[in-house]
Chains A and B, each alone.
Chain A
């Protein structure tokens, strides 16, 4: 944020970034959430294949953690039990849980509460293989342009390319777990991340959509093998409050 503030050419943009830095400091000293939307609790589980969980109910244990965490932390309950009837569950459960079985004997939990405002501005598109890298860039930039001020820019843009429809969406969320600005391990993809970030920051949206050069703080791209017929691309937008924490049991 400090770096973005130095680079920002819009004076209102700089002012907003300063307010966000001040906000983060107040949140930390006064133990208030950085944003009132304390999110849908998304939990990525990496379960070592040598771990055997005995008794109980694994998903319910995670939900109990959410219940306790949100009550004890004075976090907002933002989940409704039925998407049409829309009654608040009152304890922020259930969590969205993604489980992967991996080698080893650890249990790794990554918790990434996701705000609704930026989630709503996300999109998936099934491109044609012939659309290629230019098609991918066009789609990603268009999603961010259309989102405009809504997802609380400066944003972090997670992009998933490849796999199937749902795999691309999951990759785009996983891309957001990477530390800010950490590059892809693939050289061509790291270059794509850089290009996308440059293109997005030409849009002029700026902090809060009030104009400026800082629309995205970073673009993270994750890729996966895909079908000969397909080029799925998913864009998951995260506001500047990119919260994630992990624990290894």
Chain B
């Protein structure tokens, strides 16, 4: 299957075209965020405060990178388990986040939010952290530096390979693929 090249920020029109199983290359700015950063983002939302970045059309990558060696952009940067961000994700999709990137299943509330707000959930290969790091061209901490690896980074990526797991029709690639291969 041909990979589709996506450039951030993403629009409804782009997201509407994507279906589960579609392989994509992501290009442009994306933001990192995992457990502790999400907790803080949601606190900011609940207090009606401004987020550290404008969420409209943006992409959040669930990752806590390892430190960069001198002269390098970043260390290893593979995905973390997305399910731990499930209780936060619907609020962020509601604010205009178009895509989240991670690994593993999403719960029904996230799948519903993806349908409702025209979003997408993408998986990258868990554990392919050195390979993925090569696609990251710039990295800068923009919020919560005290969280260490859980700080929010603004990344610029070139051809980050990912696959669509949940789309706005409600499809789930994991269910479909595992059913195809299970022997019962």
The chain A residues found within 8 Å of chain B, CB to CB, are: 9-10, 12, 16, 19-20, 22-24, 26-27, 30-38, 74-78, 86, 88, 90, 116-117, 120, 148-150, 152, 202-206, 208-213, 239-241
Contact = CB atoms under 8 A, between A and B. Distances in A.
Contacts of B76: 27, 32-36, 38, 76
* In the complex, the 3 A-B pairs of residues with the closest C-beta atoms, listed nearest first: A211-B177, A204-B182, A204-B181
A23 B131 CA distance: 5
B126 A148 contact: no
A114 to B, nearest CB: 14
Interface in B55-69: 63-69
A36 B104 CA distance: 16
B134 interface: yes
B13 interface: no
B182 A78 contact: no
Interface in B115-172: 123, 125-131, 133-134, 147-150, 163
Contact of A34 (B64, B129, B178): B129
B48 interface: no
B interface bracket (residues with beta carbon within 8 Å of A): 35 or more
Contacts of A213: 181
Given A36-B78, A74-B67, A76-B149, 15 more contacts: A19-B128, A19-B131, A23-B129, A34-B130, A35-B76, A37-B78, A37-B80, A76-B67, A77-B149, A117-B80, A148-B104, A149-B123, A210-B163, A211-B178, A240-B127
Contacts of B131: 19, 22-23, 26
A12 B20 CA distance: 14
Given A10-B181, A36-B63, A88-B148, A150 B103 contact: yes
Contacts of B78: 35-37
A240 B125 CA distance: 12
A148 B128 contact: no
Nearest to A199: B183
Contact of B127 (A12, A31, A88, A241): A241
Contact of A148 (B36, B174, B181): B174
11 contacts: A10-B177, A22-B128, A27-B130, A32-B72, A33-B76, A36-B76, A88-B147, A149-B104, A150-B83, A204-B181, A209-B105
Contacts of A88: 147-150
B126 A152 contact: yes
A105 to B, nearest CB: 37
